């Protein structure tokens, strides 16, 4: 087994090495997703609380039956910079959660209990094997990091201009486009569905988001498009719960450095004033 695995890695390594062509050559062209507007983009971007709350609702009602968000705890739902449910609301969400916390009881037997605020949000499956068994051998991926774990090729010169325009929602744009990218009436291999934006187009996940699937209480449009935007925004937050803090501190740091840099520069001018050849 070990030897066979070693051979497998060596072959793959060799492929990556000399014939890295194999991968990309086989991978089908990926259609770049359209650009969407995100409340969280730019230097001063912050999440739209109401949107994150709706997004959580979409995750809970449309995604959580198959996908976990293992990196998140219920307490995170109440922390600053996120959907900011009240602590009581977050505790109620935990108590009502559809999946139980699986643990080993005092008698040494596997047992289940109702989640509490401090618990990680339990996913649909006890373990990876169970998830694979329920989905034809391939476990539905965890969604915690999804907008960061996906991207698309920007190409020259856009990958350079992105540094200055601060476009970094490549993954979010992809996820949203993917969720609404299903097309009917295409020839697909058995067990797959046609998605315009998925690399290779044939994806095991069916088209889940249908108009009217989730009932919003704040009067937002109950369309697949809106659901996709909301749940993607929510996942952008789960991928980086401290984004707002990061941008806020970043602005202060840059302001400080610019002032310090200016002062230091003029100090330098003064110090060098009497050196010949320097103004």
Binding residues vs another protein (CB under 8 A): 2-3, 5-6, 8-10, 12-21, 23-27, 43, 71, 76, 141, 144-145, 148-151, 156, 162-163, 166, 168, 170-171, 199, 239-242, 245-247, 249-251, 253-254, 257-258, 260-261, 264-265, 267-268, 271-272, 275-279
Complex with another protein: residue 16 or 206, whichever CB lies closer:
16
Q: How far is the CB of 16 from another protein (least distance, A)?
A: 4
Q: How far is the CB of 226 from another protein (least distance, A)?
A: 25
Complex with another protein: residue 13 or 221, whichever CB lies closer:
13
* Spatial CA neighbour of 169 closest among 148, 195, 153: 148
What is the rounded CA–CA span in Å between residue 233 and residue 226?
Answer: 11
Instruction: Compute φ and ψ for 120, nearest 5 degrees.
Output: -60, 150
Q: How far is the CB of 156 from another protein (least distance, A)?
A: 8
Tokens for 185, please give them: 């009436």
Complex with another protein: residue 148 or 196, whichever CB lies closer:
148
Q: How far is the CB of 256 from another protein (least distance, A)?
A: 10
Q: How far is the CB of 277 from another protein (least distance, A)?
A: 3
Complex with another protein: residue 101 or 145, whichever CB lies closer:
145
CB atoms within 10 A of CB 139: 19
Complex with another protein: residue 32 or 223, whichever CB lies closer:
32
From residue 267, alpha-carbon distances to 254, 258, 260, 279 in Å are 20, 14, 10, 13
What is the rounded CA–CA span in Å between residue 7 and residue 16?
Answer: 14
CB atoms within 10 A of CB 179: 24
What b/e string do you get for 83-111 counting C-beta neighbours within 10 Å, with b at 16 or more?
bbbeeeebbebbeebebebeeeeeeeeee
Complex with another protein: residue 102 or 248, whichever CB lies closer:
248
What own/partner pairs with CB < 8 Å and gap ≥ 24 does 158-165 have?
none
Q: How far is the CB of 117 from another protein (least distance, A)?
A: 14
């Amino acid at each position: 087994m070990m030897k066979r695995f070693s051979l497998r890695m060596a072959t793959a390594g060799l492929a990556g090495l000399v014939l890295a062509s194999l991968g990309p050559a086989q991978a089908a062209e990926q259609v770049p997703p359209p650009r969407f507007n995100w409340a969280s983009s730019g230097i001063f971007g912050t999440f739209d609380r109401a949107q994150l709350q709706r997004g959580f609702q979409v995750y809970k009602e449309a995604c959580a039956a198959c996908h976990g968000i293992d990196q998140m705890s219920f307490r995170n739902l109440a922390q600053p910079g996120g959907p900011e449910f009240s602590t009581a609301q977050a505790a109620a969400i935990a108590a009502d959660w559809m999946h139980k916390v699986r643990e080993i009881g005092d008698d040494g037997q596997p047992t289940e209990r109702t989640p509490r605020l401090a618990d990680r949000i339990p996913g649909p499956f006890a373990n990876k094997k169970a998830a694979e068994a329920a989905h034809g051998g391939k476990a539905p991926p965890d969604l915690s990091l999804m907008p960061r774990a996906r991207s698309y090729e920007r190409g020259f010169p856009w990958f350079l201009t992105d540094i200055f325009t601060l476009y970094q929602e490549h993954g979010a744009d992809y996820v949203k486009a993917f969720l609404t990218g299903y097309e009917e009436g295409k020839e697909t291999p058995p067990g797959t569905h046609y998605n315009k934006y998925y690399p290779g187009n044939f994806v095991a996940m069916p088209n889940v988001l249908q108009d009217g699937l989730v009932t919003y209480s704040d009067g937002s449009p109950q369309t697949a498009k809106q659901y996709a935007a909301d749940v993607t925004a929510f996942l952008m937050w789960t991928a980086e719960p401290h984004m707002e803090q990061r941008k806020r501190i970043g602005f202060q740091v840059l302001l400080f450095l610019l002032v310090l840099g200016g002062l230091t520069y003029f100090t330098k001018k003064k110090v060098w004033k009497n050196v010949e050849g320097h103004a």
